[in-house]
Amino acid sequence: MNTPVEGFSKLTKTQKIDWIANNCTKDPKGTKQVLEQYWNMDPRVQKLHDEFIENTISNYYLPFAIAPNFKINGEIFAIPMAIEESSVVAAASKAAKFWLERGGFKAEIIGTEKVGQVHFIYKGGTEKLSNFFISAKPELLKSVATITQSMEKRGGGINTIELRDLTDKIDGYYQLHCTFETLDAMGANFINSCLEQFAKTLKEQALLFEAFSEEEKNIEVVMSILSNYVPDCLVKAEVSCPIADLGNADMPAEAFAEKFVQAVNIAKVEPYRAVTHNKGIMNGIDAVVLATGNDFRAVEAGIHAYAAKDGQYSSLSHAKIEDGIFRFWIEVPLALGTVGGLTTLHPLVKLALEILQNPSAKQLMQIVAVAGLAQNFAAVRSLVTTGIQKGHMKMHLLNMLNQLGATEEEKRKMVKHFKDETVTNASVKEALERIKSK
């Protein structure tokens, strides 16, 4: 039975493993073997991984794959993807090949502005606070000069600081709403450092502002933190071609285009469908974000907030037919970095960026958005033609056979058998039993 432990973080790695194995698992020896078999054979690499986070006892592997043949703005990319879900890489690759022959993907940056806020409580007159902010703003900027100096030399820094009155939502609630340009860095540490200094200076300047009463001088800073909602750090990716070029064996070109647009429109108005629709987009986006050492949780949160920006959760992608041309596009907020964090520490992250020709943050935004659009195209294309299960379950077949303990020879026979058969758990078990009995 699991019991509380004192000072777990102070234990050595071996002691942590012993405690977990003995207190939380039924087979301590087997537990240790599983944990150790996922350690890197190079002690230096393992030490690097151990120090990424706290209380590390092993590594959790995800497949690191490549989706080739992405033509983006005329240049060909092989895109690294880290993901565990069957069919994602295959679907993205299939979409990339499809559009390679139809002009490829176009991508453009709409904006790169990021946001941070100082949230505070002020008990007093709003006009008086506005006058104080005007007088304090130069001091706020001056107080972060040493923090912003390096970023400004490269062309980034603080774009704006504004005072926002939110007392209609919470009594006495105001904020400093700040925008930043962080160039090739994701910028979280830079932004948070600026915000915390703003908060300190705000309180100091309030104590000196003569127009304030004693109560008004005591501004209460609640918190200072960046926002992962970045609607002005936006990228657009799209594909287009004459409807006639969409033809395939599953459906006539015009019928396919019309049905595809209908499917996207359904995701625009039906939140239950929109969530799954957008999840498919995130299959592509998250896989590249993770492979390149970026924060996929922040990206997920920001993108889903953007999907609900008009008051109802809706499709992130759009499609239309106009003058005989099929267009499919996406606009998503992406705060990404290609310097700092894991980008300079994790060997596979460095390799992933090298495979992508060491992109700038703007270029990576475009690549990631294209991966999401490609994944969405592949998913919707399957849904409106053959159905999603035919291709997905074929890709899932090997996982099922591994779970059932199939030999390599049995796997070969099963793959051949299911080339033209429907894959289900029951049909796979039945077919494998027949092969084993021969």
Residues with active-site annotation: 85, 279, 295, 392
Cβ-contact 299, 188 below 8 angstroms: no
The closest of 317, 320, 330, 318 to 243, measured between CA atoms, is 320
The secondary structure of the chain in percent helix, strand, coil, rounded to multiples of 5, reads: 50, 20, 30
Angle value at C-alpha 338, between 191 and 232, nearest 5 degrees: 50
Q: At what angle do helices 361-384 and 388-403 cross, to 10 degrees?
A: 100
Contacts 24+ apart (CB under 8 A), 273-278: 274/307, 274/313, 274/314, 274/315, 275/313, 277/315, 277/316, 277/317, 277/376, 277/379, 277/380, 278/303, 278/304, 278/307, 278/315, 278/316
Question: To 10 degrees, the CA torsion angle through 265, 269, 270, 275?
Answer: 80
Cβ-contact 216, 124 below 8 angstroms: yes
Q: What is the C-alpha to C-alpha distance for residues 415 and 417, in angstroms, rounded to an integer?
A: 5
Cβ-contact 173, 166 below 8 angstroms: yes
Residues near 283 by Cβ (< 8 Å), separated by ≥ 6? Answer: 83, 85, 88, 375, 379
Ramachandran sector of residue 158 (left: φ over 0; alpha: ψ -120 to 50; beta: rest) = beta
Cβ-contact 178, 198 below 8 angstroms: yes
- Judged by DSSP in three states, 219 sits in coil
Cβ-contact 133, 234 below 8 angstroms: no
